[in-house]
Amino acid sequence: MTRSQIEDIKSMVGDDQVITTPSTVERLSKDFYWYSPVLKPALENRRGEVVAQPLNTNEVAAILRYCYAHEIPVTARGAGTGNYGQAIPLQGGVVLDLTRMDKLEQITSDGVALCEPGLRLGALEGKAREQGWELRCYPSTVVKSSVGGFLGGGSGGIGSVAHGGLRDFDTVRALQVVTMEPEPRIQLHEGQAVHDILHAWGTNGIITKIWLALAPKVEWAQAAIAFETFEAAFDFSERVAVDDDWTKRLATTFEAPIADYFSPVRALCPLGKHMVFMLVALDQLQALKQTAIQAGGTATYAEPYRGLKFAPLLSDYAWNHTTLWAIKHDAAYTYLQCGFDPDRVREQMALLRNRFGQEILFHLEFIKNSEGRVIPAAIPLVRFVSAERLNEMIACCRANGVFVANPHVNNLEDGGRFREDHVQLQAKYRYDPKGLLNPGKMLSFTPKETATEETVR
């Protein structure tokens, strides 16, 4: 970008809303891509040229109008906690940092939050709880990450055992999106049309308003339960997870020695034990402890949950935080994102163990799928040997009916959550014909001038 283009953008928004300091631009061009030893070297040197921080939808539209006219790439960014380089600009240009658009406009009486994309999920959870509601699901990065970034790049997390992921059960009611066209349009996507934009990595429109359905607030308790064998830990967590009589928000199983790496809560995780972390309704805590004892477990922690600001916060060790603690312990760890077949999960895990031994360690998270069945998803730890070996493991999973959303690729299609009905791709053709939004991340897109009838369809 030229100096005069940067000055032009400054003139559209306030001076203090455009960042050019190289170290800050670099920081705001990065996310948690380094979780992947494959992506780390590939993305290390990629960055934007300037960061713009719009304060409202009109400023977003003005920036997009200018960038369209000057063919400048624009990459949306929330808190930058995504894992696959989703928010890393591959072709420079503007990093559109939406964190200053962080208003919670309303929580309706039937529990729908209307907010801007930069609102932090943790702040929304806090406000919702004050009004008798809570998030249906959230990532373990809840305190830092933004609602818009979660919709743009996330999938589910704590709460998904009861409410499914972001794609399910009409959790995302509607989105307002700004398009990348000569005259940007402000489009409302409601109902099924939200899927055009969800988990599209900001490649087909900038989300500027969100209607997110909440769940009635529950008084929660946290429990950590230790088991002598992985089989006993898994059986117990599965039993609680699939049984509708338990009101729960988290059901996580860690094969030993994973919990040994959780240094701040080592006192709750006896060395070498297989651990289960759970969030259940407070009035079910005693029953949970008894069920755990009957299953051969020992509750090392069982207390009321006091909120995101109070330690110990067991969700800080679940979902992809598990991988973070493991990497802190030993940089040779990385991970996969899997979905086991609920009817074959034990056989599938045995098969992977036989083939890969301790190169794979099982970390399971139960989630409700779109048909309402609770199934064992997993974010297993993997000891990284080489990209070839990682691909061998992924191929082995897939050949044996284990779904893999590959976290070691930097494009939507290979990441495993690209919609097969191609609605995200079609929205890109409608809203970003020149392919300037987060370019390089949606591989099946070809700019219109060169697109064939086949690709546009």
Give me the long-range contacts of 103-111 (CB less than 8 A, separation at least 24). 107/131, 107/133, 107/214, 111/213, 111/214, 111/215, 111/216
Q: Where does residue 396 fall: left (phi above 0), alpha (psi -120 to 50 degrees), or beta otherwise? A: alpha
List residues bridging with 212 in a β-sheet.
113, 172
Distance in Å, CB of 57 to ligand FAD, minimum: 11
Q: Which string of x and - marks every residue 152-181 that binds ligand FAD (by CB under 6 A)?
A: xxxxxx------------------------
Q: Which of 30, 31, 248, 424 binds ligand FAD (CB under 6 A)?
A: 31
For residues 314 and 278, what is the distance between their CA atoms, to the nearest angstrom?
Answer: 8
Q: How far is the CB of 246 from ligand FAD (least distance, A)?
A: 21
10 Å CB burial of residue 413 (0-12, 13-18, 19+) is middle
d(CA 158, CA 136): 8
Contact call for residue 337 and ligand FAD (CB under 6 A):
no
Nearest approach in angstroms of CB 150 to ligand FAD is 3
Alpha carbons 28 and 22: distance in angstroms, whole number: 10
* Max Cα distance, the chain (Å): 71
Q: Distances from the Cα of 185 to the Cαs of 64, 176, 188, 201, in angstroms?
A: 10, 10, 10, 19
* Interaction residues for ligand FAD, span 51-110 (CB under 6 A): 75-83, 86-87, 98
Chain centroid to Cα 137, Å, comes to: 10
408 counts as binding ligand FAD under rule CB under 6 A:
no
- Is residue 326 near ligand FAD by the rule CB under 6 A? no
Tell me how far CA of residue 136 lies from CA of 67, 119, 163, 217, 348, in angstroms. 36, 16, 6, 9, 30
Any contact of residue 141 with ligand FAD (CB under 6 A)? yes
Side-chain half-sphere CA neighbours of 130 within 13 A:
8
Of the pair 78, 164, the CB lying nearest ligand FAD is at: 78
Task: Quote the CA–CA distance of 262 and 321 in Å, as a whole number.
Answer: 10
Shortest distance, position 144 Cβ to ligand FAD, whole Å: 7
Dig out the tokens for 279 from the structure. 């969030």
Q: Which of 128, 206, 378, 390 binds ligand FAD (CB under 6 A)?
A: 206
In the complex, least distance from residue 174 CB atom to ligand FAD, rounded to whole angstroms: 14
End-to-end CA distance of the chain: 33
Stretch of residues binding ligand FAD (CB under 6 A), selected from 104-112, 136-144, 299-307, 370-378: 136-144
Annotate each residue in 214-233 with x if it binds ligand FAD (CB under 6 A) or - if it does not, as one string.
Answer: --------------------
411 binds ligand FAD, rule: CB under 6 A: no
Tokens 């009321």, residue located? 304
- When asked if residue 445 is in the footprint of ligand FAD (CB under 6 A), the reply is no
Candidates 48, 73, 202, 380: give the one binding ligand FAD (CB under 6 A).
Answer: 202
Decide: is 407 part of the binding site for ligand FAD (CB under 6 A): no
CA-CA distance, 341 to 115, in Å (whole number)?
36
Alpha-carbon torsion (379, 383, 387, 393), positive or negative:
negative
Q: Is 334 in the site for ligand FAD (CB under 6 A)?
A: no
User: Does residue 339 belong to the site contacting ligand FAD (CB under 6 A)?
Assistant: no
Nearer to ligand FAD, 206 or 288 (CB): 206
438 near ligand FAD, rule: CB under 6 A: yes
Q: Is residue 17 at the binding interface for ligand FAD, with CB under 6 A as the rule? A: no
Question: Does the footprint of ligand FAD cover residue 29 (CB under 6 A)?
Answer: no
280 binds ligand FAD (CB under 6 A): no
Residue 70 Cβ, how far from ligand FAD at the closest point, in Å?
20
Instruction: Decide: residue 372, CB within 10 A, 0-12 exposed, 13-18 middle, 19+ buried.
Output: exposed
- Cβ proximity to ligand FAD: between 29 and 284 the closer is 29
Q: Interface with ligand FAD includes 249 (CB under 6 A)?
A: no
In three-state secondary structure terms, 395 is helix
| Number of residues binding to ligand FAD, judged by CB under 6 A | 38
Interface residue list for ligand FAD (CB under 6 A)? 31-32, 75-83, 86-87, 98, 117, 139-141, 145-146, 148-150, 152-157, 201-202, 206-207, 319-321, 324, 438
